[in-house]
């Protein structure tokens, strides 16, 4: 992942992922939190900015301009993006495009 034109973030050396030497069949982006409340009671833990997607990119967290590199080393916009959440009343996700 690159931030601006100068900063590469989230670099992992290839030797950590030797099983991906040839290719990958799936890419996931996501979030996770730990609920340490007794008996799984609701927690006040926030993900991202703590705002729902329906509140817009001015408040909610977002990924923008996601691109992948294909087997021919071409940069492409991923197609067939799907979303999943287990508790949409607590943590939600939605897809959009630039300008949404």
Give a yes or no: residue 39 inside a domain: no
Inside any domain, residue 17? no
pTM of the model: 0.53
Give the per-residue pLDDT at 1.
63
Q: Exposed/middle/buried for 78, CB within 10 Å: 0-12, 13-18, 19+?
A: exposed
Domain assignment of residue 33, yes or no: no
Residue 98 falls inside a structural domain: yes
Residue by residue, DSSP assigns 30-80 as -------SGGG-------TTS--GGG-TTTS----S--EE-TTS-EE---S
Averaged pLDDT of the chain: 78
**Closest C-alpha among 40, 62, 63 to residue 53:** 62
Structural domain of 83? 46-100
- 41 compared with 91, residue with greater pLDDT: 91
Q: pLDDT, tens digit, for every residue of 18-32?
A: 887 777 787 877 777
Task: Determine, yes or no, domain membership for 29.
Answer: no
CB 76 within 8 A of CB 70: yes
More confident residue, 47 or 92: 92
**Inside any domain, residue 20:** no
What average pLDDT does range 64-89 have in this prediction?
A: 83
How many domains, the chain? 1
In this structure, is residue 100 part of a structural domain? yes
- Residue 53: exposure state from Cβ atoms within 10 A (0-12, 13-18, ≥19): buried
Whether 23 is covered by a domain: the verdict is no
């Amino acid at each position: 992942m690159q931030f601006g034109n100068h900063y590469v973030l989230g670099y992992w050396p290839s030797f950590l992922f030797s099983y991906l030497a040839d290719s990958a069949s799936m890419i996931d982006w996501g979030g996770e939190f730990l609920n340490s409340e007794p008996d799984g009671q609701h927690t006040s833990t926030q993900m991202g900015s703590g705002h729902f997607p329906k509140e817009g990119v001015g408040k909610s967290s977002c990924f923008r301009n996601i691109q992948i590199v294909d087997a021919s080393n071409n940069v492409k916009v991923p197609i067939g993006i799907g979303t999943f959440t287990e508790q949409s009343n607590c943590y939600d996700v939605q897809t959009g495009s630039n300008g949404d």
